[in-house]
Amino acid sequence: MELRQLAVVVAVAEEGGFTAAATRLRTVQSTVSTVVRALERDLGTPLFHRTTHRVVLTPAGEAFVPAARAALEAAERARAAVSPVAGQVRLGVCPGLLVDLHRVLASVRHAHPGLAVEVRQVPDTCRGPAESGVDVLLTVAGSDAPVSSATETTTTPLAGEELVLATAPGGSRSAPADLSELSLVDFPPGWAIRDAVDRAFPGRRVALEVDDLAVAAGLVRAGLAACVLPASAAARFPDLTVRRFAQPPPWQLAAVHTCAVSPAVAALLGQLG
């Protein structure tokens, strides 16, 4: 199986036909048909239902195309990781979403000195790159907020971790399943951490609300409250006790971007992932 075959199948699926796919790929229809037939023989199953007027994915094709897109995106990111990339890419980040942003930007600069990353803070309710004026929009995977359909987009999952309970130094390393009896410090609505914790612990009591991670850590350190945080955020404050849940709530980030990935975007995704 070759990347070219995957690209042809994705083009046929997205364009709805072999002729349109050939136009997009700047080749002839017979070449597209030959490539698809060869791949179907290799897989042992048809990927498309062919009719006189249109081409429709079979159940096997429905399963194959998303995986093919992911493979093509991964290949593009791998290529970008070793190729000089220049230009500019705009990254949208909502408050509290990426606490190690400085490390990401430093790694981008080290890997691609010619690539400038412009960071914009966007509301957590804004899920479309086009509507927020960015090329890549970081979001929390599984959020209920809608994704803009103004431009065709795709979502690339990033490395996942877990939410933990940060408390004053000392004490147990196990977090209680029920947080309703704890005094908690949390962040304002619209912060990604707040939205994730709202979904994981809808019945908790928020005693304090701040808009700064360091301030929240100070309140926890003083024993005034506990705080649910992504593990990477809690790790910034090694003097606090990190208590893990028996069933850890996930903290999974994702990058939303247009389906056509430019070299600059691919390079950024390679560092984010």
pLDDT in tens, 196-212: 888 889 888 889 999 98
Range of the domain at 211: 161-251
Same domain, yes or no: 50 and 75:
yes
Asked if 98 and 143 sit in the same domain, the reply is yes
Does the model's pTM come out above 0.85?
no
- Say if residue 150 is in the same domain as residue 262: yes
pLDDT digits (tens, 9 = 90+) for 1-10: 888 899 999 9
Amino acid 191 reads: W
> For residues 147 and 172, is the Cβ–Cβ distance under 8 A?
no
Tell me which of 39, 56, 81 is where a domain ends: 81
Contact 96, 192 (CB under 8 A): yes
How many structural domains does the chain have? Answer: 3
Share of the chain above pLDDT 90, in %: 26
Q: For residue 98, what is the domain's CATH number?
A: 3.40.190
Shared domain check, 265 and 135:
yes
Q: Are residues 129 and 7 in the same domain?
A: no
> In terms of domains, do 110 and 143 share one?
yes
Is the same domain home to 104 and 234?
Answer: no
CA dist 126 → 59, 173, 257, 258 (Å): 33, 36, 13, 15
